[in-house]
Structure 1
Amino acid sequence: MLFPTRKSFERYSSDGLTYFSTGLHPNPRLFKYLWQIWTPDSPLEGEEFLRSGPLLSTGKFVEIEQQMLQARKSGFVYNRCRVRMGLGSPFNLDHPRWKVTEWAPSWDDDPDPVWNGYK
């Protein structure tokens, strides 16, 4: 993975978007994906961008991604996955594994727009 910095971007001479992301789980009710798009004109770089940069829902990400691809803009794409809470969740919220987890709302309680079943 390349960090979202101008130095990394200059060394990596690819046009278009470069993805440093995981694939989507087939069951969108279990996980929520949040996306970040870094471009050379982003005000934040490196760890600061990954920690504090804007997070996009899947639907919003796909919208911006399509605009960038049509405009032939370049950048780096990152995503992260959060476990969803809610009734029917197969995850034991009391298990030590999830002690410091930042949970996503249940799919039904998530106000983000739907894109191919994902919010």
Structure 2
Amino acid sequence: MASDEMLEPGWLVRFADIERYRNKSDVAICWFMYGSNVHPVPEFYKYDWWIFWEGSPVDGDELIFSEDYRMNISEANFLYDRLMKEKTVFFMYNQKRPRRDCLNPFNPSAKRWEGQCWAPSLKDDLDPLVTEGPWAGHK
């Protein structure tokens, strides 16, 4: 392998990989490939989501973590429900950002949070609220 050649991370999925995942299981259609479990306290974190599936507008390496294809949790919840009902194989990715809120336990000036991109407080977040299901209360 050439020294400038890079291996792709194992969680990166492309259109060419979908059939392989479809054949891996008779049951699994949703694959959580990268991210964090959703914290039960919506005031603490905001989650940005990317869902890759055969109907995605671009291949996985262009979609995943691209701002152009980022979804809020409400949009991700809607697409998740739709793809589950359709029994379509899909892959979920998320990144969490702490919310800037004086009521949460985070100290924005702590070394741990250096360079962090903060999300607005839950009350200042303009994204729609999820009203039912496991992510209810999140924006």
Whether TM exceeds 0.5 here: the answer is yes
Matched with 1:51 is: 65
Q: Which protein is bigger by CA-based radius of gyration? A: 2
Matches within 5 A, 1:95-114: 95-114=110-129
User: How large is the RMSD of aligned CA atoms in angstroms?
Assistant: 2.0
Amino acid of the structure 2 residue aligned with 1:33: Y
Could you tell me how far 1:18 is from its partner in structure 2?
A: 1.4
Q: Is the 8 A contact 2:54 2:90 kept in 1?
A: yes
Fraction of identical pairs, as percent: 30
Please state whether the residue corresponding to 2:93 is helix, strand or coil. Answer: strand
Give the TM-score normalised by the residue count of structure 2. 0.74
CA-to-aligned-CA distance 1:40-86 (integer Å, 9 cap, x gap): 34344454322315111111111111111122222111111110002
Matched with 1:117 is: 137
Give the TM-score normalised by the residue count of structure 1. 0.84
Matched with 1:40 is: 54
Matched with 1:23 is: 37
Structure 1: stretches of 5+ with no match in the other structure = none
Distance 1:9 1:107 in 2: 35
Q: Is the 8 A contact 2:50 2:65 kept in 1?
A: no
Structure 2: stretches of 5+ with no match in the other structure = 1-9, 131-135
Please state whether the residue corresponding to 1:84 is helix, strand or coil. Answer: strand
Number of residue-to-residue matches in the alignment: 119
Distance 1:44 1:4 in 2: 12
Q: Is the 8 A contact 1:33 1:79 kept in 2?
A: yes
Distance 2:137 2:55 in 1: 32
Matched with 2:3 is: none
Distance 1:11 1:77 in 2: 16
**Higher RCO (C-alpha under 8 Å, 6+ residues apart):** 1
Matched with 2:107 is: 92
Answer yes or no: is 1:5 the counterpart of 2:14: yes
